[in-house]
Amino acid sequence: KAGVTQTPRYLIKTRGQQVTLSCSPISGHRSVSWYQQTPGQGLQFLFEYFSETQRNKGNFPGRFSGRQFSNSRSEMNVSTLELGDSALYLCASSQRRGATDTQYFGPGTRLTVL
Amino acid sequence: QKEVEQNSGPLSVPEGAIASLNCTYSDRGSQSFFWYRQYSGKSPELIMSIYSNGDKEDGRFTAQLNKASQYVSLLIRDSQPSDSATYLCAVTGGYNKLIFGAGTRLAVHP
């Protein structure tokens, strides 16, 4: 079974621009979670979607948003990019509806903001 | 106080030894606990999950959970140089929300 895929793998943007990242979960998985990883803050939860509904959200500004499509694919968007948004953005998928399901990570998108 | 705490390391062990990685968490209501391994430049890879007090073994890996002490550990037996990585402890904090520790860097030297 194919794993979680993320596109693009690398991205360079300038301050003030916006960016959209894409995530395709493992086949049959309906939950997608997004995380930001930086050297200073580590891995931090952004939000989670299940059946096109956002069920959980982390402590990030409104510039960070996401959505999920009916085929479980998910996108996240960051508007008005700041230098501090440079990070590895990871998505993870899980299979069941419950709150404690195992999450499997994709390879990540490395975003650099200049 | 951070929600999930780990020693940052590096933890250096000789090849063939047992590596012991520790993690404490603050939310007594947490139900699920995970250990992920992350090689430099790569994404986290699941090693173990544990939900009940006690030990859970999978090959060379043993996870231990003590909810009363709010403590999770990972033992790696017969450590190999390929085990050198950062090990992340994660605790659930709501719908598929994982709260991660900062990670412990493990270095296994021949």
CA geometry: angle A76, A80, A85, nearest 5 deg: 65
Q: How far is CA B38 from the centre of its chain?
A: 11
Provide, as residue numbers in chain A, all residues whose Cβ is less than 8 Å from the Cβ of B42.
Answer: 107
Per the CB < 8 A criterion, the answer to whether B51 and B108 are in contact is no
pLDDT score, position B1: 58
Distance CA A90, CA A4 (A): 10
Q: Span A57-62, mean pLDDT?
A: 94
pLDDT score, position B50: 93
With an 8 Å Cβ cutoff, are A102 and B49 in contact? yes
| B92 in contact with A, Cβ within 8 Å | yes
Strands A31-38 and A87-94: antiparallel
Q: Which residues pair with B98 in a beta bridge?
A: B92
pLDDT score, position A97: 60
| B75 in contact with A, Cβ within 8 Å | no
pLDDT score, position B97: 87
Provide, as residue numbers in chain A, all residues whose Cβ is less than 8 Å from the Cβ of B3.
Answer: none
Distance CA B61, CA B78 (A): 9
With an 8 Å Cβ cutoff, are B44 and A90 in contact? yes
Q: Span A19-37, mean pLDDT?
A: 96
In angstroms, the separation between the Cα of residue B2 and the nearest Cα of chain A is: 11
- Residue where the block lists tokens 């979670």: A33
pLDDT score, position B2: 66
Confidence of residue A89 (pLDDT cuts 50, 70, 90): very high
pLDDT score, position A101: 81
Comparing A93-102, B49-58, B99-108, the range with the smallest average pLDDT is A93-102
Res. A83: pLDDT tops 90: yes
| B45 in contact with A, Cβ within 8 Å | yes
Which residues touch A12 (CB under 8 Å, ≥6 apart)? A111, A112, A113, A114
Confidence of residue B29 (pLDDT cuts 50, 70, 90): confident
Average per-residue pLDDT for chain A: 94
In angstroms, the separation between the Cα of residue B41 and the nearest Cα of chain A is: 9
Chain A positions touching chain B (beta carbons under 8 Å): 31, 33, 35, 42-45, 48, 50, 55-56, 58, 88, 90, 92, 94, 99-108
| B102 in contact with A, Cβ within 8 Å | yes
Give percent of chain B with pLDDT exceeding 70. 98
Which of A114, A57, A55, A51 has the alpha carbon at shortest distance from A86? A114
Res. A99: pLDDT tops 60: no
Res. A95: pLDDT tops 90: no
pLDDT score, position B31: 87
| B101 in contact with A, Cβ within 8 Å | yes
pLDDT tens track for B46-99? 999 999 999 999 999 999 999 999 999 999 999 999 999 999 999 988 778 899
A87 to chain B: nearest residue by CA?
B41
